[in-house]
Every structure is written in C-alpha cells, then in structure tokens.
Amino acid sequence: MSGGRPRTAIGTYGAVYVMRRADRCVAETRFRDLDGRLRKVTATAGSASAARALLKERLLGRGGLGSGGQLSLASPFGHLAELWLADLDLRDLADGTKESYRDQVRLHVLPAFEHFTLGEVTTGRVDRFLTSQAAVSSSRAQRSRTMLNLLFGFALRHDAISRNPVEGTSPLRTPKNQPQALTLTQIAAIREAAATWRTDPGQPGPKPDGQVRDIIEVLLGTAMRPGEVLALRPCDVEDMTTGMVVAVTGTVVQHKGKGAVRQGRPKTDASIRRIPVPGFAAAVLRRRLDGVPPERTIFANRTGGPLSPYNVRRTFREFLVGAGLADSGISLRWYRRTGATVVARGLGSDAAAAFLGHTSTAITEGHYIERDQTVDLMPAAQLERTLRPVSPDGTLLGLPAAVGEEEILVAVDSDSDVV
C-alpha cells in the first residue's frame, strides 16, 4: 500500500496532542517501542507547556535505542567514554596503543563532548570540533576523528544510536608537504655530532656510552620503529654467512609510573617479521652483543632494563643541536622514512611495505598464502650501498619518487610508535 502515513521509526514518537481535563492539561503521543508496537504515553500538568515538557522528559528516558543496555540516546558522552575505555582494557592490543587511546580520549575528545548526551552529539558538532582540531594540527584532527569513530562505533553496536555522527563530516585536509627522507649531508652531520657528543675535556657527569649513537645506526639500516630497535635481544639476532637477520618480536614502551618496559609483541601482528641487516648496522650489533645475556635487551640502562624511549629521544635532540639541525624538524621517525624511501626507489613500494611490516602484506599472507619464512636480502644491499658511513652512493635518494612511495611514507608517519 503506497501513499499512506510513514511508519513511526523505532525509538521515536509521533505528534504530541494536549487536551484540557478539568483544571489539568494532558499531553499524549504514541511511542514505537523496540518490539515494533505503538504505545500511548501521557503526562499531566497544570499547563499545556508544562505537560509537553514533562511528556518529552518521559519520552527521553523511555526504552528506545539502547533500552535494556547500558547506553541510550540520553546517556552522557562521558558514560560512553567510560564504558569504551573499560572495553579497551579487555582487547588484545599493545599496551602502548591502549595508553595512547586513553590519552587521546582524556586530553582531546572528552573535554569537547562531556557535557552532551549521545543524542546531542550531532554531525555538525563533530564537524566543528574536528575543524578546530585541524587548526592546531592535521595529525591531531586525524587522531581525534579516529577516536570518535571508535567510540560511536561502540555505541552503534550497543544500539544506543542509529547512526555514527562522524559520518558526513567534512574530509580532513592532508598537508601537501611530502614526508621527507634524510639527505646524505644530514646523515653525515648527525653521525659526526653523535660521535663527538659530550667528549670535550672537562665535561661533567659520566662519559657517554654511545648507545644512542649506535641506535640511530640500527634505525638507519633497518627502518625499524625506535621501540622495536630498543626491544632487540641477542636471541632475536641470527648472524649467518650470508649476512645478519634480526627478528622483530616486541617493542619497548614507556608506562606511567613503571618506566620503560619490553612488550612481548610489536605494534601490530604485521610488525612481527625478520629483517636483513646491512653491513654497517650489523657491525654495530655485533659489537653490542658481546657479553649480553640472550633474553636481555641489547640496548639497556645501568640496571639492565630497557632504555627509556624518552631518554633516547632527548639525547637525539642534543645530537641535532650539535649537527646544526635543531630547527630542521628532524626526528627519529625520519630514519624509518629514509629506509622506506631507499627500498621503495630501489626495489618498489611492495618490497618497501613488506620490509616495513605494513599490515596489508601480513593480511594477504595470513589469510591467502602460507607465510614465506625466507628473508629477501636485497633491501639490506640497497641500504648498505646508499647509507653506509664511508662512500655512500646517493643515487637512489636522488631519483624521483617511486609509484606508491608517498602512500608508504604517509603510512610510516601514522604507524610510528611512542618515540
């Protein structure tokens, strides 16, 4: 039958009518419950406006979307955040990822919406919030959008809302600045600064142990995330006649109140991989391996625990000052970019994605083909030729970007760990 009155949607109500009975006013409407049935709902007060207000208050609390569960349209946004964070604790995610999510909710998302109910968080409000975040930085806006999608996806699964208000917001603009790799000149300057850091006569305090200097060499040669390098142990290193291979089996994260902790899994399942190591980085690891117990991290503090990512980053900034690059914007992430650039231009973007441990490759291997346990040594050869300390060949870094290289570098920036 066509042309009839549209059916009232579940969890909503129809027109409100007010009638006077003696000295009282009665407001009534029909509400469609979750079982699909329309039921009359009434409210009585001394005036028509008071009766309407009381009726709407009753409708707001009536079982509709989310009835029978812990969330409804009338639930405060803060209650959604609380339930989602409790669910987050039960999920199989890296501790560092969980901590990052908690910080994003606490610092950025919750303050913007804590005074609204779920029904009051509209697409327009979300859009204005994301625009304000983008004015600070595009990366902050992207992270906030991700968190809101996760939160409202949770609300959708619990039937608290009928649609995700993040959908329909304006696309976030991505900066057109191409993620940069280090130049050979910058690499040489940082190497020189790292080698001479705090070596002047009369320097107070203990002499530098050279660990951060060696860490950046391993970063340069493997394009690993900083936390993955800090988590390397002698049992993860295989030194063969064909060359050195390291297994990425964990990462180091910084926990509030606990310090640096080696986590027995890297950032993602795709990150579990074996990497060929070029000669210049292998020489560093061989020197560092001497006398280190198999299960202890190769790079360690004075008590034998993992090095703090924060301390590594602080020392690296001092290297940049010594290299005259303090205002360059260079960070440890640039080393992963540089390795990705060299491999992509020398062997193609697919090889770079596999070398970096990006998710798409792991999904294909895990679901469609048996994982290949062999290690392609070609990336190490390209990195050795291009980035070795003596007579590096900058040919690859001077080439135009490879097909798909920009997407690889954007992914590198978005998948970096806490360092």
pLDDT in tens, 268-295: 777 788 999 999 999 999 999 988 999 9
Higher pLDDT: 201 or 301? It is: 301
Instruction: Summarize the confidence of residues 51-77 as an average pLDDT.
Output: 75
Q: Is 43 helix (H, G, I), strand (E, B) or coil?
A: strand
358 φ/ψ sector (left φ>0, alpha ψ -120 to 50, else beta): beta
Higher pLDDT: 8 or 17? It is: 17
Instruction: Band the pLDDT of 189: cuts 50, 70, 90.
Output: very high
Q: Cβ–Cβ contacts within 10 Å for residue 345, how many? A: 22
What whole-number percentage of the chain has pLDDT above 70? 89
Instruction: Band the pLDDT of 144: cuts 50, 70, 90.
Output: very high
Task: Classify the C-alpha dihedral 311-315-316-317 as positive or negative.
Answer: positive
Higher pLDDT: 234 or 37? It is: 234
pLDDT at 371: 46
Could you tell me the two tokens for 276?
């060929």
pLDDT winner (highest mean) among 35-39, 252-256, 363-367: 252-256
Could you tell me the two tokens for 360?
């798409």
Instruction: Summarize the confidence of residues 19-29 as an average pLDDT.
Output: 92
Instruction: Summarize the confidence of residues 147-172 as an average pLDDT.
Output: 90
pLDDT at 227: 93
The yes-or-no verdict on residue 305 having pLDDT over 90 is yes
Averaged pLDDT of the chain: 86
Q: What pTM value is reported for the model? A: 0.65
Task: List the single range of 36-40, 69-73, 252-256, 298-302 with lowest mean pLDDT.
Answer: 69-73
pLDDT at 64: 54
Interatomic CA distance for residues 241 and 86, integer angstroms: 50
What whole-number percentage of the chain has pLDDT above 90? 55
Q: Are 268 and 203 in contact (CB under 8 A)?
A: no
pLDDT at 164: 93
pLDDT at 367: 37
E strand residue ranges, 282-391: none
pLDDT at 148: 95
Which residues fall within 8 angstroms of residue 250, CB to CB, at 6 or more apart?
Answer: 228, 231, 262, 263, 264, 265, 266
pLDDT at 369: 38
Q: With CA atoms as reference, report the closest residue to 416 among 282, 304, 313, 274.
A: 313
The yes-or-no verdict on residue 221 having pLDDT over 90 is yes
Interatomic CA distance for residues 312 and 332, integer angstroms: 9
pLDDT at 59: 81
Q: Going from the N-terminus, what domains does the chain have, and what CATH number goes with each? A: 17-61 (no CATH), 77-157 (1.10.150), 184-414 (1.10.443.10)
